[in-house]
Amino acid sequence: MRLRLATWNVNSVRLRAEQVKRFVAESCADVLAMQEIKCQEGEFPREAFVEAGLPHLKIAGQKGWHGVAIASRLPIEDAPVLNVCREGHARCVAGIIGGIEVQNFYIPAGGDLPDRAENPKFDHKLDFYERLTAEMARRDPKAPLVVTGDLNIAPGEHDVWNHKYMLKVVSHTPAEIEAFARLMEAGQFTDLIREAIPDPQKLFSWWSYRAADFRQSNRGLRLDHILISPGLRDAALRTGKAQARVHDAVREWERPSDHAPVSADFAV
């Protein structure tokens, strides 16, 4: 059976419930990991997900800010929630679906100043990565694991619109690129999107709302990721090639999120 997992920073699930239904219908996603749902659990638009065919839910909500959720066609079993956010924000939700552990994160953006001493938000971001990396180093790499979500780092030079310029901007600074690399090494992860669409092709999943025409300016970043453990490589590469993509057309929809969904297929 093919399991299609998508991740999407929806930037308010109540505002975009109809868009979620449309995306699920058009993409045939079986699992949707969402970030920035911006609501508490009791406010979550459950009926929209039932109508979309994703009735099984795991929700970690927070009033007004942050919040993450997983919606699935298949039942979701409990998985350990990795509480690596020192501020206690709703930034992680987890579940086991079709035998695959899914850890869905909304990692802090980090503010504007890339200085841990001067900017507590940037320090929080790197602390989050350090704690998550330590957790991954303790894991059995043979276990089928997906780490996904808005990880808020564009790790490669072709994951940003201008590598040299962005090295000074939070999301692509050397400290963040190194933090991402340490996480990848600790989990022995494969970056499925780059496995499917290798460098040097430019690839983005986020575009600022400031651009009137995001395609014309195309000042994007690849912030949304699907990382898999060695134990999932066979399931992800069953056809001989990773089947993963950015659904950038969703960014063209009316009143869109600033992020586009990203998806990958697994054989389960």
Model confidence over 109-164: pLDDT tens digits? 999 999 999 999 999 999 999 999 999 999 999 999 999 999 999 999 999 999 99
Number of C-beta neighbours around residue 201 at 10 A: 8
What's the pLDDT at 180?
A: 99
Confidence at 213, pLDDT banded by 50, 70, 90: confident
Are the CB atoms for 203 and 197 separated by under 8 Å? yes
Q: Which of 223, 228, 216, 157 is nearest to 191 (CA)?
A: 228
What's the pLDDT at 211?
A: 80
User: Rounded to an integer, what distance in angstroms lies between the CA atom of residue 155 and that of residue 103?
Assistant: 19
- Structural domain boundaries of the chain? 2-267
Cα distances from 55 to residues 50, 71, 231, 236, 250, in angstroms, run 4, 7, 27, 24, 22
The distance of Cα 210 from the centroid of its chain, to the nearest Å, equals: 22
Instruction: Note the pTM of the prediction, 2 decimals.
Output: 0.98
Assign a CATH topology to domain 2-267.
Deoxyribonuclease I; Chain A (3.60.10)
pLDDT digits (tens, 9 = 90+) for 7-53: 999 999 999 999 999 999 999 999 999 999 999 999 999 999 999 99
Confidence at 168, pLDDT banded by 50, 70, 90: very high
Are the CB atoms for 9 and 260 separated by under 8 Å? no
Helices assigned H by DSSP within 32-167: 46-52, 120-137, 163-166
Quick check: 217 pLDDT over 90?
A: no
Q: 77: which DSSP letter?
A: B
